[in-house]
Amino acid sequence: MMILKTDKVGKKYLNKWALSNVDISLEQGKIIGLLGPNGSGKTTFLKLVIGMIRPSSGSVTVCGMEIGYKAKEMISFLPDSEFLYNWMTIREAGDTYAAFFKDFDMARFNELLQFMALTPDMKFKGLSKGMKEKLAIALTLSRNARLIVLDEPLNGVDPVAREQILGAIVKSFSHESTILVTSHLINEVENILDEAYFLKEGKIVLHGSTDDLRSERNKSLDELYREVFAC
Amino acid sequence: MIKFNESSPIYLQIVEKIKADIVAGKLKGGHKLPSVRDVAESFRVNPNTVQRVFMELEREGVAYPQRGIGTFISEEAGLVEKLRDTQAQKYTGRYVAQMQELGMGKDEILENVRKVLEGNENDDTQD
């Protein structure tokens, strides 16, 4: 079962192609990395997937459906900016999600909070940047969505919080869904990835299973990344 | 938590770690291995990778699955001795290959091993 499939998808801004001819197929039950430096088109790609923008060419389907109301229900997206109110407590944030999304799993949310050392009584206003990120991750991972999209989940958080976030991702993994993670912190994410796509200047330049990429070239993903994006 | 090295597949590195635990006696024949999910969480790796670890251990006869219960370390007689032998050979092979890369001959390699071992002993007595 293909969770996400794009066929020669492209996005043009004025006369510049931010993405061109991107073919990506994500199978069910995998964790997949979309890796590339700032400005390589990662976020543009994610915006196409969640239906925030429309492709200039090609097509995107989620579980075989064109992006629309039905397909969007199957996607849980981690926004990269703050989206909760300051007066809210963590518990209220969970309640809000539960009210919005039918597939929200409150038991899993509480388990993830505990795992990442957050307590439901904390007010959003008083949280550090790392704690806010962990809360956002917990909310996103607690939906039983078919496709979970995490945009730079490790940005701006300290090493301990990074470990907790990676642990939370592994904990929430299910064979029913697929997790798509973007990052430029390759070293940190490579151990949790089944497959990786390298995106350079809007094009996929390398794709493969992480184990194959490592053993064929005798290099870690991090080293490969430096090689592909140097120059 | 183990630090994974750069270039070999992660599943093989976890396989080695489990074999090392068997040789060291931390895991014994008949012991149940933690679930795929628990291993994945503790190593912070992909659950599919851990699935591959278990498959590899089963293929090599180091572990066996029990439907619906879990995966167990094999109770086969001589397993520990066999692993002790193969793992020791593997580790030593790596070391020797590295020394040969430096152009060291047989005597020099043996000499260096002796030096390090004796150095360790001296450290122990000082503590």
pLDDT, tens only, B85-119: 998 999 899 999 999 999 999 999 999 999 999 88
A223 touches chain B (CB under 8 A): yes
Does the pLDDT value for residue A202 go beyond 90? yes
E strands present in A93-189: 147-151, 178-183
Contact A192 B7 (CB under 8 A): no
Chain B: nearest CA to A108, how far in angstroms? Answer: 15
User: What tokens does A220 get?
Assistant: 């870690």
Q: Which residue has tokens 């066996």?
A: B64
- Say what angle helices B79-101 and B106-126 make with each other, to 10 degrees: 110
Q: Are A97 and A141 in contact (CB under 8 A)?
A: no
B37–A171: do the CB atoms touch at under 8 Å?
Answer: yes
DSSP B38-51: HHHHHHT--HHHHH
- Quick one: tokens of A143? 């939906």
**Which of A27, A164, A211 to probe by mutation at the B interface, max B CB count within 10 Å?**
A211
Cβ-Cβ contacts under 8 Å, A167 against chain B: 41, 44
Chain A closest-CA separation from residue B89 CA (Å): 22
What pLDDT, on the 0 to 100 scale, is given for residue A5?
Answer: 94
Question: What residue spans in chain B does CATH classification 1.10.10.10 cover?
Answer: 10-73
- List b or e across A215-229, with b for residues whose CB sees 16 or more CB atoms inside 10 angstroms: eeeebbbbbbbeebb
**Residue A230: other Cβ atoms inside 10 A:** 6
Tell me what pLDDT residue B125 has.
60
Residue B1 has pLDDT above 90, yes or no: no
pLDDT at residue A104 in the model: 95
Q: Which residues of A touch B48 (CB under 8 A)?
A: 29-31, 194
Phi, psi (deg, nearest 5) at residue A72: -65, -30
Assess A171–B contact: CB distance below 8 Å, yes or no: yes
Tell me the DSSP string of A167-194: HHHHHH--TT-EEEEEES-HHHHGGG-S
How close does chain A come to B127, measured CA to CA in Å? 33
Candidate from B6, B7, B44 with C-beta closest to A167: B44
**CB–CB contact B10 A191 (8 Å):** yes
Q: For residue range A92-135, what is the model confidence (pLDDT) as tens digits? A: 999 999 999 999 999 999 999 999 999 999 998 999 888 999 99
Which residue, among A64, A66, A62, A83, has the nearest Cα to A74 in the 3D structure? A62
Closest partner residue to A30 (CB to CB) among B41, B43, B48 is: B48
Asked if A173 has any chain B CB less than 8 Å from its own CB, the reply is yes
User: Which residue, B79, B14, B72, is CA-closest to B47?
Assistant: B14
d(CA B105, CA A31) in angstroms, rounded, equals 47
The CATH number for B10-73, chosen from 3.40.710.10, 1.10.10.10, 3.30.750.210, 3.60.150.10, is 1.10.10.10
- Please name which of A76, A65, A133 lies closest in space to residue A104, comparing C-alpha atoms: A76
| Residue A229 structure tokens | 């994006």
pLDDT tier for residue B121 given thresholds of 50, 70 and 90: confident
Q: Provide the shortest C-alpha distance from residue B5 to chain A (in Å).
A: 8
Q: Predicted confidence band at A79 (pLDDT cuts at 50, 70, 90)? A: confident
| HSE toward the beta carbon, residue A227, CA cutoff 13 A | 10
Domain residue extents for chain A? 2-229
- In the CATH scheme, what is the code of domain A2-229? 3.40.50.300
Close Cβ partners of A92 (under 8 Å, ≥ 6 residues apart): none
Instruction: Indicate yes or no: CB of A170 within 8 angstroms of CB of B8.
Output: no
Contacting residues of B for A223, CB less than 8 Å apart? 6-7
Per DSSP, which regions of B3-105 are E strands? 63-66, 70-73
Residue-level pLDDT at A106? 96
Helices B47-59 & B10-23 angle (0-180, nearest 10): 50
Selecting from A166, A194, A214 the residue whose C-beta is nearest the C-beta of B7 gives: A214
Q: Which residues of A touch B6 (CB under 8 A)?
A: 214, 219-220, 222-223
Question: Where residue B62 falls among pLDDT bands split at 50, 70, 90?
Answer: very high
A86 touches chain B (CB under 8 A): no
Residues A224, A207: Cα–Cα separation, whole Å? 11
Pairing verdict, β A203-209 and A195-200? antiparallel
The CA–CA distances, whole Å, from A2 to A28, A63, A210, B43 equal 6, 6, 19, 28
